[in-house]
Amino acid sequence: MARPVIAIVGRPNVGKSTIFNRIIGDKLAIVEDKPGVTRDRLYGRGEWLDQEFSIIDTGGIEIEGEDHILRSVRVQAELAIEEADVIIFMVDAKAGVTPADSEVAQILFRSQKPVVVAVNKVDNLQRADDIYEFYSMGFGEIVGISGAHGTGIGDLLEEVVKHFPDTVDEEYGEDVIRVALIGRPNVGKSSLVNAILGEERVIVSDMAGTTRDAIDTPFEKDGQKYVIIDTAGMRKRGKVYENTEKYSVMRAMKAIERADVVLVVIDGEVGIIEQDKHVAGYAHEAGKAAVFVVNKWDVVEKDEKTMHQFEQKIRDHFLFMTYAPVVFLSAKTKQRLHKLLPVVNTVSEAHAMRIPTHVLNDVVSDAVAINPPPTDKGRRMRINYATQVAVKPPTIIFFVNDPELMHFSYQRYLDNKIRAAFGFEGTPLRLFTRRKSEEE
């Protein structure tokens, strides 16, 4: 189910990113310290009072040009209005109400979206009275906070969650594979959707998705039911959106959250660019099954080595997603299109695969026997047993004598051995270690 979306809006230097980082804290999806994972954050996940949500730091959106600061905050406000269920409007207690604050306030006020004003830098009791000036902007909910000291964040989130919508996702059976297509603009996502649907000659029905205007397109092929997840807003055009590269990342996140399988679409003619890593990184961190789809393969000049060389480039650029298969095709000519859905089926099965504990432990025991854990200051990690505790993605816990002795390189070795034994093609694996005493 898609999470409610919060956006943090405000002029520069009011502390948006600090508050963003405090809110996501350690609730952010597990980020592996592997090469190639982008660290340029725009979108995170948090939780308050058992309510999970996604949160956007619009401070990551920058616009250049005349009066670029004012233009930037305007764009941030417009994107927040478009994307968010609730908006946190951040202002600075020290500076008071500025012209930029007033302009953003008017945009947000007209939007009729729920807005909670967070007055940052209320670092002491003397400054607490400074928040009252901000009631002049016309919003009823004002919360004083301090990013520096971390105070008031709970009060802020308590106010924000009151405005979360009653989001009702479509209920699909477990036999339905939910597929999201992500990628930067102009890689051919829409053409690929049309090609898939046209190829199968199915009856297509558009039904309203979540409260954020998701469009779900169900279809069926060879007895397997699928849903292609898209967002209506991705079809909108305009300078605001075309000038903000990261906007497409925000769009993609909604589809990623609801998907089982994510197709990372890459332009075969243009090649790989940095933004491809952004969208793929979010799919990886969300724990979704993934397939790299190299589109426009019909226009690529190639010989017998070209496909292998392009796949190697993908492996070099996406070191954190070595598990994801690669499919080369052309949405325009439908060349190799028939290969896509069988791969989607394979990675979806792997994403939902559950391994019996005794079988898993046989594999782990063999792996340890072949290559025992290295010693650390005379101590060696002992794996008592392993068990899979979740699927989508498969999540395994190793109960050990001391979790601190699990070195990253040895965890990667176990990951490789488990994949070699069971496949798990196309899905990330989540591996955790706990002391055996924590079992109970």
Q: Is 233 annotated as a binding residue?
A: yes
> Nearest CA to 139 among 105, 163, 93?
105
Give the mean model confidence (pLDDT) for residues 193-209. Answer: 54
Q: Is 14 annotated as a binding residue?
A: yes
Q: How many helices (H) and strands (E) does the chain have?
A: 13, 18
In a domain, 208, yes or no: yes
Q: Is the pLDDT of residue 253 over 80?
A: no
Per-residue pLDDT, 70: 67
CA dihedral (302, 268, 272, 38) positive or negative = negative
For 214-223, the pLDDT digits (tens) are 467 888 999 9
For 118-142, the pLDDT digits (tens) are 999 998 877 888 899 999 998 988 9
Q: 290 with 280: CB under 8 angstroms?
A: yes
In a domain, 168, yes or no: no
Q: Is 322 annotated as a binding residue?
A: no
Query: Cβ atoms within 10 A of the Cβ of 387, count?
Result: 16
Residues 212 and 233 in one domain: yes
In a domain, 170, yes or no: no
Q: Is 11 annotated as a binding residue?
A: yes
Q: Is the pLDDT of residue 258 over 80?
A: yes
Q: Is 332 annotated as a binding residue?
A: no
The lowest-confidence range among 59-73, 363-377, 410-424 is 59-73
CATH number of the structural domain spanning residue 104: 3.40.50.300
Better-scored residue on pLDDT, 158 or 277 = 158
Q: Is the pLDDT of residue 213 over 60?
A: no
Q: Is 345 annotated as a binding residue?
A: no
Q: Is 22 annotated as a binding residue?
A: no
Give the mean model confidence (pLDDT) for residues 189-202. Answer: 72
Domain limit, last residue, from 324, 351, 378: 351
In a domain, 361, yes or no: yes
Residue count (the chain):
440
Residues 138 and 52 in one domain: yes
Per-residue pLDDT, 381: 93
SS3 418: helix
Give the mean model confidence (pLDDT) for residues 348-367. Answer: 97
> Could you tell me what percent of the chain has a pLDDT over 70?
81
Q: Is 119 annotated as a binding residue?
A: no
Per-residue pLDDT, 38: 39
Domain limit, last residue, from 334, 351, 368: 351
Q: Is 223 annotated as a binding residue?
A: no
Give the mean model confidence (pLDDT) for residues 364-379. Answer: 92
Residues 428 and 306 in one domain: no
Q: 98 with 177: CB under 8 angstroms?
A: no
Domain limit, last residue, from 333, 351, 369: 351
Residues 411 and 328 in one domain: no
* Average pLDDT over the chain, rounded to an integer: 82
Q: Is 296 annotated as a binding residue?
A: yes
Task: Look up the domain containing 187 and give its range.
Answer: 176-351
Give the mean model confidence (pLDDT) for residues 411-421. Answer: 96
Per-residue pLDDT, 169: 55
pTM value is: 0.74
The lowest-confidence range among 34-48, 355-369, 413-427 is 34-48
Q: 154 with 180: CB under 8 angstroms?
A: no
Torsion of CA 156, 158, 160, 165, to 10 degrees: 170
In a domain, 102, yes or no: yes
CATH number of the structural domain spanning residue 396: 3.30.300.20
Q: Is 48 annotated as a binding residue?
A: no
Q: Is 356 annotated as a binding residue?
A: no
Q: Is the pLDDT of residue 34 over 80?
A: no
End-to-end CA distance of the chain: 30
For 283-307, the pLDDT digits (tens) are 898 899 999 999 999 999 888 899 9
Per-residue pLDDT, 197: 85
In a domain, 117, yes or no: yes
For 331-352, the pLDDT digits (tens) are 999 999 999 999 999 999 999 9
Domain count, the chain: 3
Q: Is 21 annotated as a binding residue?
A: no
Band (114; pLDDT cuts 50, 70, 90): very high
In a domain, 74, yes or no: yes
Give the mean model confidence (pLDDT) for residues 164-172. Answer: 69
Residues 6+ positions from 122 with CB-CB distance below 8 Å: 93, 128, 130, 131, 144, 145, 146, 151, 152
CA distance 119 to 15: 10
Q: Is 85 annotated as a binding residue?
A: no
Note every long-range contact of 355-358, with CB atoms under 8 Å and residues 24 or more positions apart, other chains counting: 355/388, 355/394, 355/422, 357/385, 357/386, 357/387, 357/388
Cross-sheet strand order for the sheet of 395-400: 383-390, 395-400, 430-435
In a domain, 362, yes or no: yes
Band (180; pLDDT cuts 50, 70, 90): very high
Per-residue pLDDT, 117: 96
Per-residue pLDDT, 205: 37
Q: Is the pLDDT of residue 11 over 90?
A: no
SS3 72: helix
Residues 134 and 243 in one domain: no
For 55-71, the pLDDT digits (tens) are 888 765 555 545 666 67
Q: Is 206 annotated as a binding residue?
A: no
Q: Is 190 annotated as a binding residue?
A: yes
